[in-house]
Structure 1
C-alpha cells in the first residue's frame, strides 16, 4: 500500500467517523449511487448486505457485496474495506476474510490499524476483482470482532458497533467509483443463574439451580470458558446426561485475591450461533463455612491465556445466606429407675435399717459390674473395726432377720450355741410328756 493511498484512507476515515451518527440512524445503505468522474459517467455500482450484528469476541459472520459493471468493457476493481470503532479498541479486535474465487477457501484480508480522534480505524483491500461488461460480481466476505488472538484474548476495551465503509476503485490512486457505509451492532454471549435458593446450611444438603449459557448472536464461539465463581468452602457438581452427579475441580486464579472458579462445560468449549447450554448445578458448603452471605458469580471467558484471563463477560451474581451448621443433640444415656447400690468393702457387715425394709431387694437388684469410681471422689475403704464401731452406735433393728457377716465372728458362734441348747431342752421336754402319756 502506497503512502498516498494511506493518507487518502486516513482522511476518509475521519469523514466516516464524523458520519457515524447518520449511519446509526439510517442503517446499512443497500445500494450506493455511482460516483461520477469529471467529464464522464460512472458505470459501477455497489450493493452491500452487511450483517446486522456480530458477536463480541465471537467468530466472523458471513455477508456479501455485489459489484456491478454496467459499462461496455470488462473492468478490474479493488474493493477497499475500512472499519471504525470506538476509542480504546485493542489490537486484533477486528477481522475480515474473503473467499478466494479461484479455490473457494477463506483468506484473511490484511488490516492496518490506525488511531484518530474519532476512533480506531482498520484498513484493508481485496484486489484482483474483474467484472465483465454488463455483469455483477458477488464477493463473499465475513467480518468479526474476536477481540484478540486464540488463547490471547483482550482483557480491556470494547465497542458497541462497527462502522463498515466499502468502496470500489479501479485504481487505488483514483477516487471511489461507488461506496457504501454500514453499521453493524456488536452483541454478546450471556450467562445467567436461574432459581438459586436464598439459603444454604453449612455442612447440610446441597442447593440446586440452573446455569444457562445463551448465544443469541450470529457468531459461533470457540475457546470458551463458562465459569462459576464460588466460595472456597463450596463443592460444585453438575448433572451428567445419565443423571449422575460429577464433581468439578475448583481452579484458583493467578492472583492471590482471585476467587475460586469451576468450568461448567470444561475449558475451551464451544457454542454455535443461536444455541443454549443449560447445566443443572448443585452446590454444598462444608461445616467450616462461616455463617453469612456468599455469592455465586457466572462469567464467560473467551480465548483464555491463563485461568480467568481473556475477553470477559459476566452475568448477574446471586447471593446465598449460609446458615451455621445444625447443633447435634447427644443421645440420652440409658438410666435405671433404681439407685445404684453402694459398694461394700470386703469383710464388712451391712446394717439393715428398720426404716428401709426394701433395702435387701435394692441390694439384690444392683448391677453385677459396678461403674468405675470417679478419681476425684474416691476415698480409702473403711476398716472392719470402724464398721463394727459404727454398728454398735446404731440402735438394734427390730427385725429378726440379719445378714450374715463374712470372716470370723465369735459373737455369732456364741449365739449359735445358745440356740442349740434351747432346741435340745425343748426336745427333752417333749419326749418326757410323751413317756408320761404312755
Structure 2
C-alpha cells in the first residue's frame, strides 16, 4: 500500500546528505546547497557568498534572476502556462519570428533541452537523407571528444566512450573524425553520409575552438556529398562567443543549428533551426514533444534573445572575454609549470593544465570553491570558465584574485615538502 505524503517532507530541513538518500546517484554535487542568487552572485544555506563563473554550465547568460526576465516570466505566469502542441500560442510564434529573422533559418522546432534539440536534428537529417536519396544515405559523422547530449542516440553520436559504456548495443552507422583535422574529415565523409554534426567550439571536450578552415571544409564536403551540416550550438550559442551564434564568427552557414542552455537562462528550452527545404521532411506527426514551445519557456527565451542580440551587448561580451583571457595569460606567465596557454571563443574559456598537473583540474576548482569562486572543468585537464555575459570588470578582477589564492592553496603542500 502506498504511504500518504508526510506533509513535513516539503518543509523539513534538507542537506547534501539528503541527496545521497533520495536522488539517483548520476551526479556528485558539491557539499553546499545554493538557495538564492542575483547576477553573478549566489548564497548557500549558511549565507556564504559565491562568485559564479559557471552560469550553470553556460546557461544563466544574463545572470541569476535578471529583473527583465523575472518580470516577463511572472507576467506570463498569470496568463497561461501550457496548452500542448494541439494548439499554438503567441509567445512561441514571436520567438520563432525572432530566431528566424536573426539567423539563416526559416523554421524553428522547440523542445526542452539541448539533447532533445540534437535528437530532433539527427532524426531530421536521417529523414531528409532517406526521402531525398534513399535508405542508404543514413551514416552520421561526428567528432571525437564531442558532446551532444545524454539520450542513447546523442550519446552515441558524441565522441566520448565513457558516456556509452554499459549502454550497448548503440545505434549503428555513426563514425567519428578528429576535430580540426581536415584530412580525417575528407576520409570519412562520403556519399552515404546524411549528416555531419560539429560544435563550433568543443566545450566538454576541453574548450577547443574550431578552426575556420576545418569548418569551411566540412561545409564544402557536405555540399559535395549532399549531407547536411549540423552545428551544435547548445553551449556556444546565444551570445556566448560574442556573436548571437558562433557560426557567424566563421562565415560558415549550417543546414541545421541547435540551441538551448543560454536560450532560456535556466528555464528549460531547446530549439532546432533549419531551412524551409529541409524542414518540410518533418511532416505532421513525424516528431513531437509535449512541453516544447510552451508559453512560459517561449516568453523567457524571447526576452533573452531581445536582450542579447544587440550590438553593444555583444561587443561587451567580447571586451569582457579579452580582459579575462589577458588575466589568464598573466597567470600562466606567473605559474608556467602549472598552466598552458588559455584558449577561448568569447566567454567560453579554458585554462589547460601543464603536464606536471594534468588530471588535477578539480583540485583547483575545489580550492576556488572553498574561497567563494565557482568554476567548471572540461575533462580532468582543463579549468573552464563560462561566466554570465553580464560579468563586470570588478567581478573579473575579483575572480582573478580568488583564482590566484586557490592556486597557491593547491601548490602549498608541494612547496612545504
Q: Larger Cα Rg: Structure 1 or Structure 2?
A: 1
TM surpasses 0.5: no
Q: Greater strand percent: which structure?
A: 1
Q: Which has the higher contact order (CA 8 A, sep 6+)?
A: 2
Normalising by structure 1, we get a TM-score of 0.22
Q: Greater helix percent: which structure?
A: 2
